[in-house]
Amino acid sequence: MDERILSYLNQLEPPIDIELPGKNIQWLYPLKNPETCRCVKDFYSKYYSDTNERILVLGINPGRFGSGITGVPLTDPIRLKTVCNIDSNFPLKPELSSQFIYDYFFNQYSMNDFYKKFFIGAVCPLGLECNGRNMNYYDNKTFMNNLLEYFIPDNIEKQINLGCSKKVAICLGEGTNYSILNKLNEKYHFFEKILKVSHPRYIMQYKRQSINDYIQQYIDACQLAEKIVSN
């Protein structure tokens, strides 16, 4: 599976025919950096060098301190080095979503087991930055509608074709991201069922006092997805 993932990522580029909604907005395209390419290759070679089918987990879009730097979903340079044991020359800056996944969720659900069973992607596989801050693909309605015409559905299909199940997917985000993905699924029939969990950044920013409940939410979703796939 790792070769298919790397081939997909290597051909992934910002859509040149979709105009960005402002001069202060730019795509995050970390794979133009050779160091990012090396880290991505090391990561997927380490955890995905098999032919096992995975369950697709779809986030919103890459963030500038996580996969917007490392190229590895929900993985900042700190966790890439200290947990995945992949060195890089990136500044060791933390990212909230990565902190939740690696420091909390993976503390109760084996990281190795997770990567054997799940593949993390995104509804919009490239990140966006506005005035030096993260931007969601749905923050500008006109831009979002342009992306939804072909770029987003095409890339969801491509992520499934990497070797992911069509029986079930997990959506990161219970609000806008889930609503959009659900509508896309009604149109394109990507999956038989979509489960949803709270987005890790939302949990860390607003619900940290209840973090154990959200860890359990993730565990329950993963176990249910595994059960659906096995039936």
Q: Could you tell me which CATH number the domain at 2-226 has?
A: 3.40.470.10
Q: Where are the domains of the chain?
A: 2-226
Distance CA 172, CA 222 (A): 12
Judged by DSSP in three states, 217 sits in helix
Contact status, residue 61 vs residue 172, Cβ threshold 8 Å? no
Q: What is the full per-residue pLDDT of the chain (231 aa) written as tens digits?
A: 999 999 999 999 999 999 999 999 999 989 999 999 999 999 999 999 999 999 999 999 999 889 999 999 999 999 999 999 999 999 999 999 999 999 999 999 999 999 999 999 999 999 999 998 999 999 999 999 999 999 999 999 999 999 999 999 999 999 999 999 999 999 999 999 999 999 999 999 999 999 999 999 999 999 999 999 998
